[in-house]
Homo-oligomer: A and B are copies of this chain.
């Protein structure tokens, strides 16, 4: 890339530090922006500058919200069931759940999963905040929607134990074959969980 002007090299470097974007893709994006007749580069620049200044955490669910709000849209909505909390690891999980449109309760975003190997302990996550929310509020059910791997399962189990003393139903998402999955290609753990949970 030594043949490029230094300000373009800088941009390529910044872009390629994003996940999933290598140096070649970054260069392609930069040349796309250069050719672009409209002013996408400027628009992107402004939107990026606003990102951190305008974003804060909702003090209830710890999801992202605009800095001009006191509490996020979902947590303040009268149309949602405030007695059910769906616990997810990250904001993206919540977005996927919302776009499926299958859940009408509230969320709680942990900001990760317990992973001692990576130095992430329960106190690094929003788990105490969840316990407080369950104890203080009138919560009937906590749905654990952590991811289906080792770390997600550990996190789920930890929360389950933590909430054992509270008057709340703790459930977790069903495990089994994905819709359309071919038995031949299912992994052993999925298959055994699908077998154990047969109905």
Give chain A's interface residues, CB within 8 Å of chain B: 1-8, 10-11, 14-15, 17-20, 25, 27-34, 39-52, 54-55, 63-66, 69, 73-74, 90-92, 94-95, 98-99
Cβ of B45 and Cβ of A46 under 8 Å apart? yes
Report the separation of the CA atoms of residues A1 and B28 in the bound assembly, to the nearest whole angstrom: 27
Sample (26) of A-B pairs whose CB atoms are under 8 Å apart: A1-B95, A3-B63, A3-B98, A5-B55, A5-B65, A7-B50, A8-B51, A8-B55, A8-B64, A11-B51, A14-B40, A18-B29, A18-B33, A20-B25, A20-B29, A27-B92, A27-B95, A30-B51, A31-B92, A33-B52, A39-B52, A41-B48, A42-B52, A44-B48, A45-B45, A45-B48
A47 touches B10 (CB 8 A): yes
Tell me whether chain A's interface is mostly helix, strand or loop, or mixed. Answer: helix
- Bound Cα distance A7, B66 (Å): 8
User: Are B31 and A91 touching (Cβ within 8 A)?
Assistant: yes
Known: A52-B41, A54-B5. A47 touches B90 (CB 8 A): no
A45 to B52, CA, bound (A): 11
B residues less than 8 Å from A45 (CB atoms): 44-46, 48-49
- Nearest B residue (CB) for A58: B5
Cα A43 to Cα B45 in complex, Å, equals 9
Given contacts A27-B95, A92-B27, contact A52 B32 (CB under 8 A): no
Partner of A3, one of B20, B33, B47, B95: B95
Closest 4 CB pairs of A and B: A45-B48, A5-B66, A11-B47, A45-B49
Q: Within 8 Å CB of A50, what residues of B? A: 7, 11
A69: chain B residues within 8 A (beta carbon): 5
A91 CB contacts on chain B under 8 angstroms: 31, 34
Q: Across the two chains, which residue of chain B brings its CB closest to A66?
A: B5
> Which residues in B have their C-beta under 8 angstroms from that of A94?
3
